[in-house]
Structure formats: structure tokens, C-alpha cells
Structure 1
Amino acid sequence: MKFRSKIALGISTIVVLMAVIFAVTLGEMSSRAVLIEGRKRGRTVAENLAMRAAEPLLASDFLRLKNLVDEVKKVSADIEYAFIMDENGHVLTHTFPDGFPVELAGVNPITEDTFSLVIVDTGSGYIYDFATPVRLAGASLGTVRLGLSREQLLEPVSRLNMAVFAIASVSLFIALLAGLAFSHRVTRRINLLKQHAESVVMGNLDVQTAPEPQRHCWECMNCKLVTCPAYGDPLRRCWYMAGHLDDNVPDECVESCRDCIIYRQNAGDEIQNLAEAFDVMSVTLNTHIKELREAESNLRRQQQLLRTIINVTPDLVALFDNNLRYMSVNKAFAEFVHLPESEIIGKTDEDLFSAEDARRRTSEARIALESNQVRKAEISQTSEGGERWYHVVWTPVRDSEGRTVGLLRTSRDMTEVREYQEQLLHSQKMESLGKLAGGVAHEINTPLGVILGYAQLLQDDVEPDSQIHKDLETIEKQAKVCRQIVADLLGFSRRAESSKREMCLNNSVMEVVTLVSHTFSLDHVEIITDMDDRMPIIFGDPEKLKQVWINLLNNARDAMHETGGAIVVMTRLYTPQQKVTIWFADTGPGITPDTMPKIFDPFFSTKAVGEGTGLGLSVSFGIIEDHDGSIDAASPLPDSFFEILTPVARKKLPTPEKRGPGTVFVVDLPLDHEESVDTPSAQSICKQEHESENAVTTAHT
């Protein structure tokens, strides 16, 4: 508590205490006297009313009774009510304007015809209830009840207490004024020093508490040394200045400034000395704080620069303490774990990663901490987006004394680098395979042509129906198969020029379907067609695209050669996207997830040795790419495929119990131009191709 407040509080306490003692004593005495007098007066009024009411009560003159109680009610303001009851307790008259409260009749019963007094609590105050019997010639005629308000009786006492309180307040006010005046003189400079101290706490160090010296040292000593720290400073005392340069000041004065003339002229009392010392402290603190703020500003700029660099880097950066709890992370790491930085600080790897991943990370981190050496490793992280590889570096963090105080972990995403490396290796492998395939094809092509030519010549020299002729036909047929394989190898090793023209897609697909339908039916494989009837026209090489259709159909048939099933060939035109899409779907066992990424690789095949070259899908991929299209596969069959099918085609499919997961190859090809759909020119192209195909078929038959 302030010294000034203590003085005021002491004076106030004395005045208030005296006032309270006086008021309590006087109030108690006056209240007791007033209440005693009031009870006496109330009994007198009640007995007087009883005596006056005897005659009217005997004569049953209720009007006079009413007048009597009304007169009594008007006698004094402290009389709350008055009423008269007969000998049976029935109320004959009363002064209640709003009706007589029934519960009041039995509050103060009289026994043995004696006077009775009780205190009634009305909820809003207390009332003295006087009950006096009405007697005449020794007989009881009834009862007079009179109520006096205790609050009204004590009203003079309250006024007296208010007067005492007013006198005490005035006395307290006068005492406070006197105490404040006295304390102000005593505490003015202390309060000034306190205010300056609060200013220092708030950060304002440019304060001056002590008064300005009457005479300055350079004036007293006629000093001209402007380089002296004390020179020209009208506020600071020279005896508080370190390193003043005045040679005229005796050495003994330097040792004891109290004997110096400047000190004797400007020195004050203890409070002034305290203020002067406080001013010097403020100057010293201000100097140090400015130096610290400048250093802090430089450090903050460096930290902000470092933080910006760390947050900009895509590497995952995290700083751990010796207990492997996160102390700081960068923005990339926070986004990686899908948490804000504030929720990561203080947690461990067990809180952020799976148990296996956290165990591996913690193990590597502890090895780096215990060995106090940098560790590097490449680890994989499996997430919703798939497997990703990271190059992780654990670096121990040391303090100025060389002690390990933490661990810095940086993780760089190497997934794309690995993918580029794999693509490079794959490209090199494909290049080598292409060169090998081209060389092998050229070497095989010459003897294969000789075998095919002699087989055809020998057929002319033997009987057509002989066994030798049939064997020669078999040789010719297999030689042609080999020639096709050689052609595929050559096509794989070098891209041949395509003979592209406007062509009808539906006719191209249906020609292949018609060609293989009978052969497929022997293997219990049914081909279901669902063609877009708008006859889309594309710009492509009909022979090469037929090769693609045959490869996809054969691939689907081979997947069901043991169990049978259905192949759905569907075409759809998407005019807004300017493309046409062909689906080749089967109801076979499907393709496993491990196999799916490799199906378009050259020489990759899941068939037994000797049953396939592994070039069909790879060649088909190259042909579709050459047509600026795309080909993709999906297994099992997606729901969107069944939604696109027409109801007629959907009914032809085997029931879900009889079909497998299935596989679908989706081929997208661009349209020739916007007018390539269901126009007279498109219809003409499709009609000409259809007639040409029929003619070729008739010629062969």
C-alpha cells in the first residue's frame, strides 16, 4: 500500500472507528428507549380503545365501532391497523382498505382475559400486535387488536443515525483533506520516482527524476573540455559520470566527491540521491537495451531469412531434441503430415506415422544421436498416393561446447528421380531390344522366304488331295505365321510409314469381328457388338488398325480359352471431345495389379512358352500412338462400362455368377474433322468400304 494511502487510511480508520462506536452506542440506546416507549404507547392506545368500545360493542353499534378504529388509525402514522373481534373471534370492524387478512385473526390469541403482545413478520417488516380484551362488568365482550409498525417506531432513530453519519462524513472529509495535504508534502517526490520507475518498466528509459543542478560543473570549474562525458549535460551529475576529464579537480575530490564544491552545491537529501542514482541507472539501461535491440534485430533478420529458405525448400526438414521430440518443422513437412506446425511441436514419430514406419525412423535417429555422426539412407514411404522414396540425412546438432543438443533430419523426395532412372533404363533396354529384333528379323526373313517359296512350288508338283499336298499347305501356313512374326519384329524395331486415309471405324471393327467370330465360337467365346450407329469417320491406316483389333480380340480370347465367355466390342462417338472410343471387354479372370503396369512392355507375356511372342499389345500401343490416340486397360470391369452398354447388349452378357472380373481395353482415336459424323460423305465412305469388303469376301469364296 502507498505511504500516502497509509496516512489517509490511518486517519480515516480513526475517524470511522470513533463514528461507528458513537453511532452504534447511540443507536442502540435510542432504539431500545424508542421501542420501550412505543410498546407502552401501543398498550395504552389498545386499552383505551377497548374501554371505549365496550358500550358500542354491547349495543352492537357497528358504525361507532368503525369510527373508533378509524380514529385510532389516524392518531399516528406508526399504527398499521386496528380491528375489533367479538367473543367468538369474529371480526366486527377493521381498518384494512383491501379486505381483512383472515390469517391475522388467529395470530395473537388471548388466554385468561389478559393483555397479549406478539411481533408479526409481514414479509416486508415487523409489526407489534397488541391484543386487549373488551370487558364490561367483569364479562368479556370481545377483543381489540392494534398493530404498530416497528419500522415507523424506529424512524426517529434512523434520522438520528443519519445525522450522526453526516457529521462523521464531514469529519472524515476534513480529516482526509488534512491527511492528504500532509502526505502529499511527504510523498510527492517518492511518487515522482515511482512514476518514473513505472515508465522504465513500460520501456521509457528517457526519464529525468532528479531536479536540474543549480550550477553545472563546467561553469563552476570554468572547464572547456567538450570531450568530457559530463560536459554540456544539464541533467546528469558529474560524480555519476565515469571517466570525466577535468584535471583541475583534486585527486582527493575524485576519490571522495562528497568533499567537492560541485557536489556540495548540488547534492540533496536521500530522496534526491535516490532519484539521481535512478537517472544514471536509466541511462545505463537505455544504452544496453539499444545494443541488445540492435543485436536482436540482426538475429531476427537472420532467423527470418533462414526460415524463409527452409520453408521454400521442398525437402522435409525437422529438428528434434535429444528425446526425439519435434522442436521445429518447415512448411513442406507440415503439409506432408497434414497438420499445422503448432500441433506437431512436442510430438514424436510414433504420434505422426504408422508403427512400422515410426520404429524405422526412430531407430535411424537414435543411431545418429548415439554415434554423433551424420547418417544417410534411402527409405520408402507408402501413402494413399502410392509408394514414394526419400533420401534422408540425419545430422547431429551441437552447441558451442560441442555437446549434442538435437538432431536435424532432412528428407528429399527421390521418387521422380527413381522413375526417370527406371525410364532411362527401360528406354535403353527397348533400344537394345529393337536393334536385336531388327537384326533377328532380317536374318530369319531370307531363309523363311526360301521355305515359303519352295512350299508353294512343291504344291504344284503333287496331287491336290494327297497327304503331301496337305503337309505342304501346313508348311506354307506356318511359314506365313513366321513371316507375320518377322513383320511384327520389324515393325517394332522401326516405325514404318502409315498409309492413312478416311475410313469408317464401324466397318473396320465389324470386318475383324466377322473374320474371327466362327473361330472364337469353337472355343465357346461369343462376341457381342454394340456399335454407335452414327458411322464415325476417322483418319487412319485400315490395315494397321485391323491388326490392333485382331490383337485385342485374340488377347481376350486367350484369357478365356479354358472357360469360355463373352467379348464385348463397343464403339461410342463423343462429338464435343472430337473423339471416338472403342471398348474391347472380356469376362475372363482379369489382370492382377502387379501385371497391369507391364502389359504394354515388349516381349512381356503371361502365356506359356511358345504360345505368344509378347509383342501384340506393344505393337498395338505403337500403332494407336501413331494415330494420335491412346489405349488403356482396366481390371476388373468398371461400373461405368456397364452403364454405357445398351440394354440389348447387357442382356447378352453372362450372369455375374458365370463371369469373372474381366478386363477392358479402351482405345481413343481422334475424329477426322467435325463433319465426320453421320453425313452423306460419311455414309458414302462407309457404304463403299462395305461393298468393297463384300466383293473381297465373294472373290475368296
Structure 2
Amino acid sequence: MTVFLWIAIAVFLLAAGWGLHLLRLQNRKIRKLKRSLLEAHHKTHQQQETHTESLTHWEQTEEKLRGFLQLMDTLLNTIPNPIYYKDSQGVYQGCNKVFAKQVLGLTRDRIIGKRPQELTDAMPADLAAVYQREEHIMLEKADFHTFEAPVQCADGQRRDFLFSLAPVLDREGQVDGSVAVLADLTEKNRAARHRIQKEKLEGVLETAGAVCHELNQPLQAISGYTELMAMKLDGHEARPYIDKLTTQIERMRDITDKLQGVTRYETKDYAGNTKIIDLNKASTTEKIIR
């Protein structure tokens, strides 16, 4: 074999070795690329699964929240007390049907997003000012606050309500609005006034009975002596005075009759800020005391 042949063989072997080496490097790159692709695919699959799980969880959470809001709305509309809540600017953000229908006489969509001052047709300005002042007190205290005030209801009547206000706080603990629950005290207040009137009437009846009992005997004695004096002084110049005395005695009898006929508690002004029993109105006796 010639030298050139050996050189050619050597070159061929070197070229073959180098080609084999390059092939191996290429195979390694391909395997590395396949592993990277597999890892990327695996990560993508995991991300898709995580996204699917997150989406499912979000949908479940959204459904639970929707159900909770529905429950709260049902609860608010089941409570017989009027309820409303406002944001920090005093704008209605929600209310139950009792407040909307019975108090304001409006649908909820006409209330939400409005201030009381914008609902003057349903809420008189003087009452709106009272509510705003009391709500301002609650916001300053940032604590539970109650007050009693009249409410112009949808039927045109003003009824007494107890307002129970509570602040609504945001995540930082700052006041973000308020919620109010109203309790109708009209019948309770009416019953209380009736009870007070009854107690006062009982006191008047007890006093009237005692006065009549204590006055009747001396009044009868005075009347008897007056009649005797009238008979003995018939034609005397003092007789006109006896007649006037008799008139006053009759007036006193009318007063005791009135006292015995008292059936209700009625008063009238007397001497400034003092009040006394108005016998003409309080008694069922027809004679009028002058």
C-alpha cells in the first residue's frame, strides 16, 4: 500500500470519527431538547390543571357568594322591621321591601343610589334633616347609636320609630357606611300614654272622692244654717246677702257634683305654666262650672 492510501484511510477514519462525534453531540442535543419539551409540556399540563382547578374553585366560590347574597336578601325581606344601609356619603345602597314599600312607598330600584334629600316626595325635608343629624352623630362616635323619631309612612301617617344605627367598617377599620333597623313604637307609645292618662285619672278620682267626702258634711251644715238664717231674716236688709250666700253654696254643690262625675283626665292652663283639672271637660255632669 502506498503512503497516499494510508493517508486517505487515516483522513477517512478521522472524518468518520469526527462525524460520529458530531452525530453523538446532535443526539445529545436532541435528547436534551426532548427532555425540555417534555418538561415544558408537563409544566403546561400542570398549569392547565391548576387553572382548571382555580376556575372551578372560582366558579364554586362565585356560586356560594351568589347563594349567600340571595340568602341575605331573603333574610332581609323576611324580617318585619324596616332596614336600610348607606355608604359613607349617605347614599342608599340597599334596603328591604318593608322599608321600601311601607315606609317610602317606592320600589327598591328607585331608592338605591339616592340620598334622602332626593326623595322629598316620599320623605319630608324636616324628617330627612333629623335622620341625617342622628346619622352624623353615629358616624362621629363610630359606634352603635339609637334615637326615636317620627316617620312619614307611605299611608300618610306619621308613626313613632326607634332607629338602631350601626357603622359599617372597611378593611382598615374606617367607617364606610351605616346600617339601620327600625322598630315601630307607635302602639307601645300610645299604650304608654294611655297608661299614664289612666294613672293620672285614678289620682284625680281618688282626690275628687276625698274632696267630696270631706266637703259634703260641712257643706250640708252651712246650707242648713243658711236656710234657717234666710227664714229668720225674711224682709231684713241682710236677706240679699243670705241669698248670695245660698247661690255660692249651690255653686259649691255643682262643683262637688262635677268632681263626682269625673270620668277622664282633661286639663287647662292656669296661672302661667300651671295646669289644673278642667272639670267641664273631665266630668260627665252637664252643669257648667263658671
TM-score category (smaller protein): 0.5 to 0.7
1:444-523 map, 5 Å: 444-463=215-234, 465-492=235-262
Higher mean Cα deviation, 440-449 or 395-404?
A: 395-404
Q: What displacement does 1:467 show? A: 4.0
What letter matches 1:602 in structure 2?
A: E
Aligned partner of 2:143 in structure 1 is 373
Following TM superposition, by how much is the alpha carbon of 1:397 offset from its aligned partner in structure 2, in angstroms?
0.8
The percentage of counterpart residues that share the same residue type is 24
- Alpha-carbon distance, 1:296 to partner: 4.4
- The reply to whether residue 337 of structure 1 matches residue 107 of structure 2 is no
Name the CA distance, whole Å, in 2 between partners of 1:308 and 1:296: 18
Q: 1:297, 1:344 → 2: CA distance?
A: 27
Distance (whole Å) between structure 2 residues aligned to residue 428 and residue 442 of structure 1: 21
Tell me the alpha carbon deviations over residues 657-700 of structure 1, each in whole angstroms, 9 at most, x when there is no partner: xxxxxxxxxxxxxxxxxxxxxxxxxxxxxxxxxxxxxxxxxxxx
Alpha-carbon distance between aligned partners in 2 of 1:382 and 1:308, rounded to the nearest angstrom: 26
Opposite residue 337 of structure 1, the aligned amino acid is L
Taking the aligned partners of 2:140 and 2:249, their CA distance within structure 1 comes to: 71
Aligned CA distance change for structure 1 residues 459 and 614 (closer, same or farther; 3 Å): same
One-letter amino acid of the structure 2 residue matched with residue 306 of structure 1: M
1:310 paired residue among 43, 68, 76: 76
Change in CA separation of 1:368 and 1:489 when aligned onto 2, cut-off 3 Å: closer
Deviation at residue 284 of structure 1 after TM alignment? 5.2
Equivalent residue for 2:279, pick from 583, 601, 615: 615
Residue aligning to 1:425: 196
Aligned 1:298-447 pairs, distance under 5 A: 298-335=64-101, 336-353=103-120, 354-381=124-151, 385-447=156-218
Q: Matches of 2:47 and 2:151 in 1, distance apart?
A: 63
TM-score of the pair, normalised by structure 1:
0.30
Q: Residue 280 of structure 1: CA displacement?
A: 8.4
Contact 1:326 1:346 in 2 (8 A): yes
Report matched runs for 1:4-403 at 5 Å. Answer: 281=48, 287-335=53-101, 336-353=103-120, 354-381=124-151, 385-403=156-174
* TM-score of the superposed pair, with normalisation by structure 2: 0.67
| Distance in 2 between residues matched to 1:257 and 1:456, nearest whole Å | 140
Residue 386 of structure 1 and its aligned partner are, at CA, apart by 5.0
- Do the aligned partners of residues 390 and 444 (structure 1) sit closer, same or farther apart at CA in structure 2, a change above 3 Å counting? same
Cα displacement string for residues 163-186 of structure 1 (whole angstroms, at most 9, x for unaligned residues) = xxxxxxxxxxxxxxxxxxxxxxxx
Structure 2 Cα separation of the partners of residues 456 and 317 of structure 1: 74
Is contact 2:197-2:265 (8 Å) kept?
no
Distance 1:492 1:466 in 2: 40
Change (3 A) 1:305 1:467: farther
8 Å CA contact 1:604, 1:615 repeated in 2:
no
CA distance in 1, matches of 2:251, 2:126: 54
Deviation per CA, 1:97-141: give whole Å up to 9, x if none. xxxxxxxxxxxxxxxxxxxxxxxxxxxxxxxxxxxxxxxxxxxxx
SS at structure 1 position matched to 2:88 = coil
> CA RMSD, aligned part only?
3.8
When the two structures are aligned, how many residues end up with a matched partner?
243
Cα distance 1:257–1:332, how it changes in 2: closer, same or farther (>3 A)? farther
Tell me how far apart the structure 1 counterparts of residues 220 and 191 of structure 2 sit (CA, whole Å).
42
Q: Cα deviation per residue 1:334-369 (whole Å; 9 max; x = unaligned)?
A: 121121101111111210134443344334334433
Distance (whole Å) between structure 2 residues aligned to residue 404 and residue 303 of structure 1: 22
Give the letter for the 1:423 counterpart.
H
**Residues 604 and 297 of structure 1: CA distance in aligned 2, closer, same or farther (over 3 Å):** same
- How much has 1:616 moved relative to structure 2? 2.9
Give, in whole Å, the separation in 1 of the partners of 2:51 and 2:277: 88
Q: Which residue of 1 aligns with 2:273?
A: none
The structure whose RCO (Cα within 8 Å, separation 6+) is larger is 2
Structure 2 CA distance for partners of 1:456 and 1:295, relative to 1, 3 Å: same
Shift of residue 433, structure 1, vs aligned partner: 1.1
**Alpha-carbon distance change, 392 to 481 in structure 1, aligned in 2, over 3 angstroms:** same
SS in 1 for 2:283: helix
Separation (CA, whole Å) in 1 of partners of 2:277 and 2:171: 68
Q: Which amino acid aligns with 1:378?
A: E
More helix by share: 2
8 Å contact kept, 1:319–1:407: yes
Tell me the secondary structure at the aligned position of residue 262 of structure 2: helix
Aligned to 1:455, what secondary structure does the other structure show?
A: helix
CA distance in 1, matches of 2:106, 2:217: 68
> How far does residue 331 in structure 1 lie from its aligned partner after superposition?
1.2
CA distance in 2, matches of 1:436, 1:350: 52
Q: CA deviation at 1:333?
A: 1.7
Given that 1:452 and 1:475 are in contact with CA atoms closer than 8 Å, whether structure 2 keeps it comes out as no
Unaligned runs of 5+ in 1: 1-255, 265-272, 494-599, 607-611, 624-701
Deviation at 1:324, TM superposition (A): 1.7
Residue 470 (structure 1) shift: 4.2
User: C-alpha offsets along residues 191-241 of structure 1, whole Å, 9 cap, x if unaligned?
Assistant: xxxxxxxxxxxxxxxxxxxxxxxxxxxxxxxxxxxxxxxxxxxxxxxxxxx
Alignment-derived partner of residue 21 in structure 1: none
- Return the letter of the residue paired with 2:78: V
- Looking at structure 2, the residues matched to 421 and 491 of structure 1 have their Cα atoms a distance apart, in angstroms, of 25
Local SS of the residue matching 1:376? strand
C-alpha spacing 1:483/1:367, structure 2 compared with 1 (3 Å): closer
Residue pair 2:259, 2:283 contacting (<8 A) in 1 also: no
Give secondary structure in 2 for the equivalent of 1:307. Answer: helix
Gaps of 5+ in 2: 1-31, 271-275
- Which residue in 1 is equivalent to 2:12? none
- The amino acid of 1:618's aligned partner reads A
2:3 aligned partner? none
